[in-house]
Structure 1
Amino acid sequence: MNTTAQSMRPLLDRLRRAWRSSPLPSFLAWWGGELRALLPAAMQQALDGGTRWHLLELRQGNWWLRPAGQPEPLAHWPDAADPALQQQTLRQALAAVDPQDLRLALCLSASAGLRRTITLPLAARDNLAQVVTFEIDRQTPFRAEQVVVDVRELAQGAGEGRFAVELIALPRSTLDPLLERLAALRMQVDAVDLAAGDGRVGANLLPPAQRPRRRDPRRQLNLALAAACVVLAALALGQWLHNRQLALAAMQAQVEAMRGEAQQVAALRQQLQDNAGAAGFLAQKKKDSVPVLALLLDMTRRLPDTAWLERFSLDASGAIGFQGQSVQAAKLVDALKDSPLIRDVGFQGSIQPDPGTGKERFYMVGKVRTQAPAAATAPAPSGSAP
């Protein structure tokens, strides 16, 4: 059990006690019985249900299974038998019980535990579990960590301002081996209790962390029906708003249609402006850009005859990269320094000699000037050499 569930448990216990002490449970039971009597017999049988407890007891090395309140067993089998055979025997004995209604309790003899009736002030009801924990050392010969306990509020009178509860304690040294044996047999129980005649006391000594969580489909169906009733009531109360909502929806549809036409006109106007702006941008971009042929022509004129290029690249941002070989690669920066088309020329990496050609291999980068002078972009004279 997580921390949230533990913190909510005292509140749930108070609500549960307040519900039991109110006249509503008896009234609802009477009302349900009257409504049930009006149904056909077949439907009444179909609605039969409710929790059905069965007791599992270990007697002299044998497991006994019987319905609560009945002395005759449904089945019994030796504890030394194969676990799979024991599970099959248990399933066959409980085959006639609806799994949603089945509850299985490990029942120990009355002498295995300790039962004490104590009286407490009414103020202890709000935190009964904690109060009883402090009473264990005084009411039993055990310490709190040596036993598992449960407490039941009794209907008997205890004087003004007080109430009676029954403390049921079971040593962990007795319970833990049985739980380990059940875990080895893969048998899950919903409670651990002491025998009282043919039935059980009504306590649950199973540690909270080991208690199974069950979902009741009938409770979910009831919640769904209650939710459906609330929805139908809301629909009935909101029916008188229907005509007004229809008129409002028609007016809103007209407004939306007019708004849609206005948005289309605005979209067309914006598209026209965007197209005009894009055309002007492209024209200006073309005007400001430098032709690639002009770049190659300018580099051809400025680079010495002892240098040649192996690779040339130009990206959209105007970055230039070219690789090649030259006799004196270090002088290429001075050759391109005064170019009207290229700026920020420099080497990338180191200059390396090429053993095959005897020249220096280089890789240079630069930037294209955004606006090139007209003289630089003009074509070369017809008599010039490339």
Structure 2
Amino acid sequence: MTAAVDNQSATPSLRQRIGRAGGRLRPGVGSALTWWTHALASWLPPRLRTLLGLAHERVLLQYGGEELRLALRRGDGVQDIGQLPWTAQEAERGDALLGSLLAPRVAELPRWLLLPAGAALRRRLLLPAAAADRLRDVVAFEIDRQTPFAAADVHYDARVLERHGEQIDAELVVVPRATFDSAMAALGTVAGTVAGVDVAGDDGAPLGVNLLADAVRRRRADPWRGWNWAFAAIAVIAVAMTMWQLLSNRRAAADALAEQANARAREARAVAVDKRQLVDLVEGMAYLQNARAARPTTVEVLDELGRLLPDSTYLEKLSIEGDQILLIGQSSEASALVGQLEGSKLWRSPALTGALQPDPRTGRDRFTMTAQLAIDNAPANTPANKGAADARSQP
């Protein structure tokens, strides 16, 4: 027996390496999570499922003929471990005996009592699909009708065989209480460690029921529950830190974008100011060019005076202030100067101011004459005006 059991001492599972915590990786928080875990585990290789403790293994105990047969249920297969002589003496120290003989990994697995097929009475039932959620409670009312026993005289359980739309095909399994108690008593001290009681089918494989009452079923505490809570807390903290980092990154990006927008706005305002200054400069230059083009130049005035004034006339002073022309000079024909200057296009309204003053030294009359420069409005389509308009229309 020792050699047979030692063959099962395979590589310790992951939970044993962490601290020999045993149990299952999942906390068992509902049928949906259980189904999801089983579905994921089915994709893993058998050796990896065993290493992670997801193979759903259990040790099957089957008593008969003063021998205790041990088998390992893994998935859908059953592997024999060996047989032990099982007398009253071995039964008294059975728990310690199994613990010393089995490999550590196998010793930590749940232990199930497997009753022979002839010890149970099985009946097929057709029930509504809604009964599947509380199948054990529903079949309790069928024991009196489907079996010759009362519900208080048997240990029972049920399993779903098939589903047909709104109905299910279930199987009721009952074992007389006397048979059940006798099998449990034969285990001795091992009976207190049994996690469930199943019945062998026609092929010798367990049916997948548990005949123990709910009140006496051993609830194996999940030793990974603390680790799971720790991992969940770490995951929550990691998610919170990730979300905070994302938020911080988004805020930094928003601040950088706002700074870029402000820089572009400042550049736009600077460009607008430069444009306004350029428009003002162009308009000022246009105004000056228009004013210059609208009035005769000093050279033109001097040339015109030189052409119109007689040779007997000379000027002592020529002053142009704004649009006012002031002439001071001497002429032997001073009284006729107004008529000689009236025909010019460069000024208007020539007139003598004050009285003529004879100069005995030169024999000529000193005169003072004023006139208004002829200033015309600048044409609207001059190059200066056009340049100012173009500058104003630029974006």
Between structure 1 and structure 2, the one with the greater Rg is 2
Give the structure, 1 or 2, with the largest relative contact order (CA under 8 Å, sep 6 or more).
2
TM-score if structure 1 supplies the norm length? 0.48
